Amino acid sequence: MPKGDTVIVFDCGATNVRAVAINSKGEILATESFTNNTRPDPSYPSYRIWDIKEIWDKMCRASQKVVSKINVNSIAGVTVTTFGVDGTLFDKSGKMLYPVISWQCERTNPIMANIDKYLPLNELYCESGVLPFSFNTINKIIWFVEQKPEIVEKSSSFLFMPSIFSFLLTGEMVNDTTMAGTSMLTNLRTRGFSEKIISKINFPFEKILPPVEAGSIIGKINSKASADTALPAGIPVVATGHDTQFAIFGSGAEKSQPVLSSGTWEILMVRSEAFMSGKEQLDMGITTELDSRPGLYNIGSQWIASGVLEWARRNLYSEIKDDVYEVMISGAEKVPSGCNGVKVIPKFYEELKGKPAGQILGLIMESTRDEIFRAMLEALSERLVEGKRALENAGGFKTESILCVGGGSKNRLWNQLRADYTGVPLKIIDQKETTVLGASLFVQAACGNASSPEEARSAIDYKTEIIEPVY
């Protein structure tokens, strides 16, 4: 049995590297962070990589500060979460053979654009469920095969980002299912890597480690990692992985309950027992990944959201310095539905389709900025309706309510419009650390503090505001 109920979560994001101590009630006990940035590839200065040594050093320093603020004897376990898709090749001695190519690097753009030379896109999407983004792991593997065959030959395994840091903590090389599900290399139906896809791209299948499920104990803090991090040697390290999967679990979402993460982009995801990955879903911009729990799929759609509203703030309300969003919302609340004929077509998912940017229609000499802002909110609410329908069609379920998290959930008018347009209650969750919380719940279960992550989640007091549709 563990000594306590504190979990240390290493959370590596694109902008920050953090260590967070969180207990079984979801309370943050201590946190420390350092900025994170890509670096130029030493061999190709115009390309971008992650400097693993630098990130590890920041993780260690953050961990040392966090550990100094808590009771070290209360630590039950440790885990690592990161963004998806990125990773690199290692040899059997544990030596990293090439820097981690960042998802922000453009070297893989032409590979995705010409993926049909390996496998028809419709066939690849049907198997993996992942949209054809240039940053997908498959494109990095192909780049290694095409540009660095000698490294592929020397390699023993490909490790995703969380697994790299878990390896540094434990000495064990293990990939996890949630990261595998982001890669465009898996078979959704078998919940494992696809021999068909991997053979088509000419990569040795035995060098892709079979993934373990979230909540598996993959090793213990070794003596070197203990010295580097100040974590006691012997503490269990538990597999979690891709931040998105643990954010949706940490939000409290049950099966068939969509979660809207509202920020610069909005991501609508649902934990579904079924999925579809045909041409219709590809055309609709639906991506499907493997849930943190076997038997479930995370079906998602995303579109630009608060980024559009930021454009309005900068260009239409620039003279307002204090409480600008309150001014914008208050003004838009006075505008009738339909915005007096003003209509906005923001640039939603056109990045995939090659279409031009959006438009503002119906302007007359009397049109106001408040009408334009409200029209943006109405257009984004309409986009939510489209996303909801697409997810319901792909997953074969009916939405009863939508959970909403993120900065966009603070806009009261937008929240009401979302509920009105979708026709279902919008539940605003007062939980800022959904990724860290979700990952920690799997550690609590793995270390014996709960019989399952779901039981661990039942101890969390989710403070929820419910917005009912007016019509």
Nearest to 227 by CA among 64, 19, 72: 64
Q: What is the pTM of this model?
A: 0.91
Question: Distance between CA 355 and CA 304 in Å, rounded?
Answer: 14
Contact between 143 and 89 under an 8 Å Cβ cutoff? The reply is: no
3-state secondary structure of 251: coil
Q: List Cβ neighbours of 366 (8 Å cut-off, separation of 6 or more).
A: none
pLDDT at position 463 = 87
pLDDT of residue 352: 46
Measuring CA to CA, how many Å separate 383 from each of 282, 302, 317, 329, 347? 17, 10, 24, 19, 11
Contact (CB, 8 A) for 237 and 219: yes
Asked whether 431 and 462 are in contact (CB, 8 A), the reply is yes
Confidence band (pLDDT; 50, 70, 90) for 348? Answer: low
Question: What is the per-residue pLDDT for 173?
Answer: 97
3-state secondary structure of 138: helix
Q: What percentage of the chain has pLDDT greater than the value 70?
A: 97
- Read off the pLDDT of residues 231-256 as tens digits, 9 standing for 90 and up: 999 999 999 999 999 999 999 999 99
Number of C-alpha atoms within 13 angstroms, CB side, residue 126?
Answer: 9
Cα distance between residue 129 and residue 127, in whole Å: 6
What the chain holds in terms of domains, given with CATH numbers, is 6-246 (3.30.420.40), 252-430 (3.30.420.40)
CA distance 236 to 178: 19
- Kindly state the DSSP code that residue 317 receives in the 8-state scheme: S
Which pair of tokens denotes residue 252? Answer: 């409290």
CA distance 290 to 209: 16
pLDDT band at 1 (very low <50, low <70, confident <90, very high): very low
For the chain, give the number of residues.
Answer: 471
CB contact at 8 A, 179 and 103:
no
Please give the Cα distance from 458 to 296 (Å, whole number). Answer: 19
Q: Is 184 left (phi over 0), alpha (psi -120 to 50) or beta?
A: left
**What is the CB neighbour count within 10 angstroms for residue 232?**
15
* pLDDT bucket at 263, cuts 50 / 70 / 90: confident
pLDDT in tens, 421-461: 999 999 998 888 999 999 999 999 999 999 999 999 999 99
CA–CA separation, 204 vs 210, rounded Å? 13
Q: 324-333 vs 369-395: helix axis angle to the nearest 10? A: 80
Q: Give the integer Cα–Cα distance in Å for 344 and 358.
A: 7
Reply yes or no on whether the pLDDT at 273 is more than 70. yes
Bridge partner residues of 19 (DSSP): 10, 32
Each residue of 45-96: pLDDT tens digit?
999 999 999 999 999 999 999 999 999 999 999 999 999 999 999 999 999 9
Instruction: Give 353-370 pLDDT, tens digit per residue.
Output: 555 668 899 999 999 999
C-alpha to C-alpha distance for 370 and 330, rounded to whole angstroms? 9
Which string of b and e fits 441-466 if b means at least 16 CB within 10 Å? bbbbbbbebbeebeebbeebeeeeee
Amino acid at 423: G
C-alpha 300 chain-centroid distance: 11
CA torsion through residues 70, 14, 258, 179, sign: negative
Give the pLDDT of residue 355.
58
